[in-house]
Amino acid sequence: MKGQTEPTVKLPVIDTALASYRFIIDHPYDAVRVGWLPLILLYALNLIFGTFDPLPDLSDPEAAMSHIAPLLGSTIVNVLIQSAVAAMTLVVWHRLVMQDYNVGGQTVPMRIGLDEGKYLARWMLISLLFIGILFAADIAIVMATLLIMLAVQLVSIVIMGGAGLALGEQAAQLTLVGQIGMAPATIAAIYLTTRLSLVLPATATGKEAGLERAWYISRGNGARMVLASLIVMAPLQFIMWGLMKVTGYMSDTILYYPLALVASAAFLLFILVTGTVLSLFSLGLDREPAKEKTE
């Protein structure tokens, strides 16, 4: 992109991660103002779709087939609605973090308009990119391993006169390689999508910045962004996992409802904190106008 200079900012990893938590701690009233309606919606969705209910017994293949389709369908619908609620929340929250957004009054106007629609569309695109990168990288690793195996077979048969092994006998090895390959594939997917995610706070604040600019301004800071994001997200993800397990165990008791509310609140906190760290990334790295003159 002509007319731009090489980014020289080095994002502080620990300070940025801790700052995202400090912002929530320093702005509890704003978090309540922004989050009270999303919390109600998330809580209702979790109860309606049984998010924390234990999975049915899938050991019987026939019984499993009768459960999988409706379970998958309800999960997809729930994820889509929750994503819309999260986008609606984050558009307001990014503005508050980045622009000291003054919404006035005791409540925050929550809506699904053009800004929220753009935010949700770009968020879903990045999510699809994550899944695509994950599986494409894993498939590439498996295919490379398969080619190496075939080369070894060829050497064994043609040069050394060996009989070679049937390809079917190597299926278990390829499966293991695929499972191991998910680790570097996941790292690659996280790295690429984290850098592209800078388009989200820009979208919320009306900068109209594209994925190309998000990629540009994050150069030299991709690994730092990933580390800061992991520091922010890992504790909350562990807490959410524990709350989901406990809530599932209590699904047949009266404690299910307050525990589901606490788990929903933890998910809302996760949304706000991850939105905060993205906003801080954008504030720290996006030092130039979103629209540049090009020749």
**How confident is the model at residue 201, as a pLDDT?**
94
The total of structural domains in the chain comes to: 1
Q: What is the pLDDT of residues 187-217, one digit of tens each?
A: 888 999 999 999 999 999 888 678 999 999 9
Instruction: Report if residue 58 sits inside a domain.
Output: yes
Instruction: Report if residue 293 sits inside a domain.
Output: no
Instruction: Report if residue 292 sits inside a domain.
Output: no
**How confident is the model at residue 263, as a pLDDT?**
95
Instruction: Report if residue 294 sits inside a domain.
Output: no
Instruction: Report if residue 92 sits inside a domain.
Output: yes
Using CA atoms, how far residue 15 sits from 10, 100, 232, 281, in Å, is: 12, 20, 11, 11
Q: What is the pLDDT of residues 80-125, one digit of tens each?
A: 899 999 999 999 999 899 876 554 444 556 677 788 889 999 999 9
Instruction: Report if residue 226 sits inside a domain.
Output: yes
Q: Residue 186 — pLDDT band, cuts 50, 70, 90? A: confident
Q: Residue 71 — pLDDT band, cuts 50, 70, 90? A: low
Domain limits for position 138: 13-285
Instruction: Report if residue 6 sits inside a domain.
Output: no
**How confident is the model at residue 64, as a pLDDT?**
55
Q: Is the pLDDT of residue 79 over 70?
A: yes
**How confident is the model at residue 66, as a pLDDT?**
59
User: What mean pLDDT value characterizes the chain?
Assistant: 82
DSSP string, the chain: -TT---------HHHHHHHHHHHHHH-HHHHHHHHHHHHHHHHHHHHHTTTTSPPPP--SHHHHHHHHHHHHHHHHHHHHHHHHHHHHHHHHHHHHHHH-----SSS------HHHHHHHHHHHHHHHHHHHHHHHHHHHHHHHHHHHHHHHHHIIIIIS------GGGGHHHHHHHHHHHHHHHHHHHHHHHHHHTTHHHHHHTT----HHHHHHHTTT-HHHHHHHHHHHHHHHHHHHHHHHHHHHHTTTSTTHHHHHHHHHHHHHHHHHHHHHHHHHHHHHH--S-SS----
Instruction: Report if residue 75 sits inside a domain.
Output: yes
* Phi-psi group of 166: left, alpha or beta (phi > 0 → left; psi -120 to 50 → alpha; rest → beta): beta
- pTM, two decimals, is 0.82
